[in-house]
Structure 1
Amino acid sequence: MFQIISGKVAVNMIKDGASICIGGNLNLLEPETILYELEQSYKEKGSPSKLTVMFPVFLGSMEGRGIDYFAHEGFVKRLIGGSFASMLPNRKMNDLIFNNKVEAYNIPMGTFYNLLKNTGAGQPGLFTGVGLHTQADPHYNGGKLNEITKEDLVERKELDGQQWLYYKRLNVDVAIIRGTSVDEKGNISLEDEPTSQGIFATALAAKANGGIVIVQVRRKIKSGSVHPRLVMVPGRLVDYVVFDERDEDKISRHPKSVLGDIRQPVELKEVLPLDQRKVILRRIALELRKNNLVNLGFGIPANLPSVAVEEGILDNLVFSIEHGPIGGVPGWTGVFGVAMNPDLVLDSTSTFDLYAAGMLDVTCLGMGEVDKDGNVNNHKFKNIIAGTGGFNDIVYATPKIILAGTFSAGGLKTSIVDGKLVINQEGKYKKFNTSIEGITLNAAAARQKGQQIMYITERAVFVLGNQGVKLIETAPGIDVQSDIIEKLDFEIEIASDLKQMDERIFRPEPMGMRFSE
């Protein structure tokens, strides 16, 4: 039978050297009270210490919160994450990783969820092709993020003449998750939450390992007062329940249209300005077809729904985010990971199963850096650790992959004058290089699978050709030699029928997009 205890008492249940797995995504389902009390306990007593901290998705959207609660030397021995902090304010833990103060691994997000499922089901691990020939592959670096990280958590094995990655089971001593309510039987429901973030798989992995499950909730309710389909974790899996002690309810409320209780009219209150980002978004939109199921990644692609609304094509597309929502308008409330007016919301584990089955038509993802062969690095740079997130899982079986990003980074300034793109200031950092720091997308493997790869920037469109990156379009006003070729440190193939990007992209009025029947 579960016990209701305070956050301070709950963290006393966690021993030195324990392996904990935390559910949530940024501040969605973030068990803030428990994480805060863990840090307070370590600062006051030095315990628990030397933890292994696991998280399929990075936690924390405010300075010092989420995973950064653990950013103290000695508090954590090892991190195993699906994604990390790619930008401020949550960068303290990244500093420990770069300075070799903590072991750190990056496992693809969807693979992480499937590994939790298999661990909970008593399986020895997970066989998958996701991550093969990328940074997750032990023939590259096996997901290790720094020099002190030595143990192999993944192996490459051959089955029936085919190469696979074998991810070893996770030993979870403590699951820390969050829900909306706990009823009298200990059942955890999510009536006020927009996603479920694999909390059932996380809890089951702990119990299958003989561990404990600690759940933070907003309130206690009478059994049967919530629809049974909103109950996500059965009471048999729950050991301890902690009520929200830090007024998280005030900052984690979600509109009814995000929760699926009502459908709100989609009104474009502000048209995106015609800048380099909108140029990229419009060019992406021209690649979409009626009724496409389209996955959107973080960064520039996240604003694609705004272009769809402006062009009047939203009802002809189905957007999907790996955190669960399918349909509706992702990111409309300013929170990446949720959608207004979703048609359905799957658990993250099921969303990645859908992607692995090849059900996506297109994915639009951010683009970090690209090498001459067309390989992409999105997970780790000189001073940034973003992690692969769901990237590896999303691209694994998707036939069309669109990578979106500016041609250079770090101060790029452009303007659009009379329908032409003008480069006012080039960025300090090249994004197309002879070599890159690591491989998140392996171009040769994608080519072998017959996948179509596009690299869309504000000044040019490239595709993956037979030999590497191939230039197929340029923006009006761009000089191929001075604005593209001379900015590269490798030779590039140029299409014999090199085209100009659609001039409608560079005009202030809507493009007038229509899908043919």
Structure 2
Amino acid sequence: MFQIISGKEAIKKINKGDHVCIIGNLNLLEPETILYELEQSFLESGGPSDLTVMFPVFLGSMEGRGVDYFAHEGFVKRLIGGSFASMLPNRKMNELIFENKVEAYNLPMGSFYSLLKNTGAGQPGLFTGVGLHTQADPRYNGGRLNEVTKEEIVEVKELDGQEWLYYKRLKVDVAIIRGTSVDEKGNISLEDEPTSQGIFATALAAKNKGGIVIAQVRRKIISGSVHPRLVMVPGRLVDYVVIDERDEAQVSKHPKSVLGDVRQPIELKQTVPLDQRKVILRRIALELKKGDLVNLGFGIPANLPAVAVEEDILNDLVFSIEHGPIGGVPGWSGVFGVAMNPDMVLDSNSVFDLYTAGMLNITCLGMGEVDQYGNVNNHKFKNIIAGTGGFNEIVYSTPKIVLAGTFTAGGLKTSIVDGKLIIEKEGKHKKLNSTIEGITLNASVARQKHQQLMYITERAVFILGEKGLVLKEFAPGIDIKRDILDELDFEVEVAGDVKEMDSRIFRPERMGIQLV
């Protein structure tokens, strides 16, 4: 039978050296009260310490919250994460990783969720083709993020003449989850939450081998007062419940249209400014076809729905985010990972199954670094650890992959005058280089799968050719030699039919896109 206890009492259930798995995404389902009390306990008494902290998605919407609550030497021995603090490179936990003060692994997000599901179901682990010949592969880096991280947590196995990555089942001593309510039977429901983030699989993974589940909720309710489809974790899996004791204003609230309770009119109050980002978004939009199921990645591609609304093509497309929503308008409420007016909201496990089965028509993702062969590094470069997130699963079987980003980063300034792009100042960091720090997307593997890869920047469009990058388009006003070729530290093939990008992209009025 579950017990309702305080946050301080909950922390006493966690022991030195425990393996703790936390579910959430930024501030979505973030069990903030429990994490706060964990940090306070460590700072005041030095314990619990030497924890292994696991999280499929990075937690924390503000500096000092989420995973950063653990950013103290000795608090954590090992991190295993699907994604990390890409938005703020100075996040404290990332600093500990770079300084070799904590072991750190990066697993593909979908593989992480599947491994939790298999662990809970009593399976021996996970066999997957996702991540082969990328940083997840032990022959490359095996997900290790720094020099102090030595142990291999993934192996290459051969079954039926085919290679697979094999992850052993996880050890989960403590699962920390969050919901909206707990009823009198201990059932956890999500009536005020827009996604479920694999909380059932995580709770089951803990209970399968004698671990405990601590759930943070907002309220206690009478059994049966919430629709049974919104009850996600049965009470028999829940040991302790913490009612949120902190200021309710700190808890994210979502519009009813995000929760699926109402359908809200989508009104574009202000058009997206015509700048380098919009140029990229408009060029992406020209690759879409009527009826496409489109995945959107974090960064520039996340704003594609705004262009779709502006061009009145929203109803011709179905957008999808790996955190759950299919249909509707992702990011319209200002939160990545949720959508207004979704057609459905699946658990992340189901979304990744949909992706790896090849049901996406196209994905639009950001690009951190790209080399001359078309390989992409999105997980770790310079002073940023972003992690792979759902990238590996998203590109696994998708026939068309669009990588989007500016040509240079760190201070790039451009302007658009009379339909021409002007480079006023180059960024400090080149994103296209002869070598890159790691491989998140292996171009050779994509070529073998006959996947179509495009690399779209504000000034140039490349495709993946037989040997590497091929320049296919350039922006009006751009000198190919001066602004593209001379800015690269490698030779790139220029297509015989290279042409200017569509002039409509660089005009302030609507493009008038008609999807077919």
How far, CA to CA, are the matches of 1:413 and 1:53 in structure 2?
40
What is the DSSP-based 3-state SS (H/G/I as helix, E as strand, rest coil) of the residue aligned with 1:53?
strand
Cα distance, 1:169 vs structure 2: 1.1
Residues 434-477 of structure 1: CA distance to partner in whole angstroms, max 9, x if unpaired?
00000000000000001000000000000000000110000111
Q: When the two structures are aligned, how many residues end up with a matched partner?
A: 516
Amino acid at match of 2:148: I
How far, CA to CA, are the matches of 2:252 and 2:427 in structure 1?
37
Instruction: State the partner residue of 2:199.
Output: 199
Instruction: State the partner residue of 2:92.
Output: 92
How far, CA to CA, are the matches of 1:369 and 1:89 in structure 2?
16
Instruction: State the partner residue of 1:471.
Output: 471
Amino acid at match of 2:212: I
How far, CA to CA, are the matches of 1:245 and 1:187 in structure 2?
20
Instruction: State the partner residue of 1:219.
Output: 219
Instruction: State the partner residue of 1:415.
Output: 415
Work out whether 1:65 is the aligned partner of 2:61.
no
What is the DSSP-based 3-state SS (H/G/I as helix, E as strand, rest coil) of the residue aligned with 2:79?
strand
Instruction: State the partner residue of 1:348.
Output: 348
1:356–1:393 Cα contact (<8 Å) kept? yes
Instruction: State the partner residue of 2:514.
Output: 514
Instruction: State the partner residue of 2:187.
Output: 187
2:89–2:384 Cα contact (<8 Å) kept? no
How far, CA to CA, are the matches of 1:43 and 1:250 in structure 2?
22
What is the DSSP-based 3-state SS (H/G/I as helix, E as strand, rest coil) of the residue aligned with 2:385?
coil
Instruction: State the partner residue of 2:119.
Output: 119
2:89–2:383 Cα contact (<8 Å) kept? no
Instruction: State the partner residue of 1:359.
Output: 359
Matches within 5 A, 1:425-464: 425-464=425-464
How far, CA to CA, are the matches of 2:284 and 2:121 in structure 1?
41
How far, CA to CA, are the matches of 2:334 and 2:269 in structure 1?
13
Work out whether 1:403 is the aligned partner of 2:403.
yes
Cα distance, 1:168 vs structure 2: 1.5
Cα distance, 1:249 vs structure 2: 5.2
1:62–1:89 Cα contact (<8 Å) kept? no
What is the DSSP-based 3-state SS (H/G/I as helix, E as strand, rest coil) of the residue aligned with 1:195?
coil
Cα distance, 1:89 vs structure 2: 7.6
What is the DSSP-based 3-state SS (H/G/I as helix, E as strand, rest coil) of the residue aligned with 1:494?
strand
Instruction: State the partner residue of 1:503.
Output: 503
Work out whether 1:108 is the aligned partner of 2:118.
no
1:364–1:401 Cα contact (<8 Å) kept? yes
How far, CA to CA, are the matches of 1:383 and 1:512 in structure 2?
41
**TM-score normalised to structure 2 length:** 0.99
How far, CA to CA, are the matches of 2:226 and 2:12 in structure 1?
31
Cα distance, 1:250 vs structure 2: 4.9
Amino acid at match of 1:411: G
What is the DSSP-based 3-state SS (H/G/I as helix, E as strand, rest coil) of the residue aligned with 2:157?
strand
What is the DSSP-based 3-state SS (H/G/I as helix, E as strand, rest coil) of the residue aligned with 1:9?
helix
1:356–1:397 Cα contact (<8 Å) kept? yes
Identical residues among aligned pairs (%): 81
Amino acid at match of 1:84: F
2:89–2:385 Cα contact (<8 Å) kept? no
Deviates more, 1:85-94 or 1:426-435: 85-94
Q: Which runs of 5+ in 2 are unaligned?
A: none
Matches within 5 A, 1:267-286: 267-286=267-286
Cα distance, 1:515 vs structure 2: 1.8
Change in 2 beyond 3 A, CA 1:486/1:89: closer
1:63–1:90 Cα contact (<8 Å) kept? no
How far, CA to CA, are the matches of 2:29 and 2:8 in structure 1?
19
Instruction: State the partner residue of 2:254.
Output: 254
How far, CA to CA, are the matches of 1:505 and 1:168 in structure 2?
49
Instruction: State the partner residue of 2:145.
Output: 145
How far, CA to CA, are the matches of 2:87 and 2:315 in structure 1?
33
How far, CA to CA, are the matches of 1:498 and 1:156 in structure 2?
41
What is the DSSP-based 3-state SS (H/G/I as helix, E as strand, rest coil) of the residue aligned with 1:308?
helix
Instruction: State the partner residue of 2:55.
Output: 55
Cα distance, 1:367 vs structure 2: 0.6
Runs of 4+ in 1 over 3 A off after TM superposition: 248-251
2:33–2:244 Cα contact (<8 Å) kept? yes
How far, CA to CA, are the matches of 2:129 and 2:254 in structure 1?
36
Instruction: State the partner residue of 1:315.
Output: 315
Cα distance, 1:257 vs structure 2: 0.3
What is the DSSP-based 3-state SS (H/G/I as helix, E as strand, rest coil) of the residue aligned with 1:445?
helix
Amino acid at match of 1:485: L
Cα distance, 1:248 vs structure 2: 3.8
2:189–2:231 Cα contact (<8 Å) kept? yes
How far, CA to CA, are the matches of 1:239 and 1:189 in structure 2?
15
Cα distance, 1:88 vs structure 2: 2.0
Amino acid at match of 1:229: R
Cα distance, 1:167 vs structure 2: 1.2
What is the DSSP-based 3-state SS (H/G/I as helix, E as strand, rest coil) of the residue aligned with 2:505?
helix
Instruction: State the partner residue of 2:304.
Output: 304
How far, CA to CA, are the matches of 2:25 and 2:209 in structure 1?
24
Deviates more, 1:308-317 or 1:162-171: 162-171
Cα distance, 1:87 vs structure 2: 2.4
1:207–1:237 Cα contact (<8 Å) kept? yes
How far, CA to CA, are the matches of 1:124 and 1:145 in structure 2?
25
Change in 2 beyond 3 A, CA 1:90/1:245: farther
How far, CA to CA, are the matches of 2:118 and 2:249 in structure 1?
33
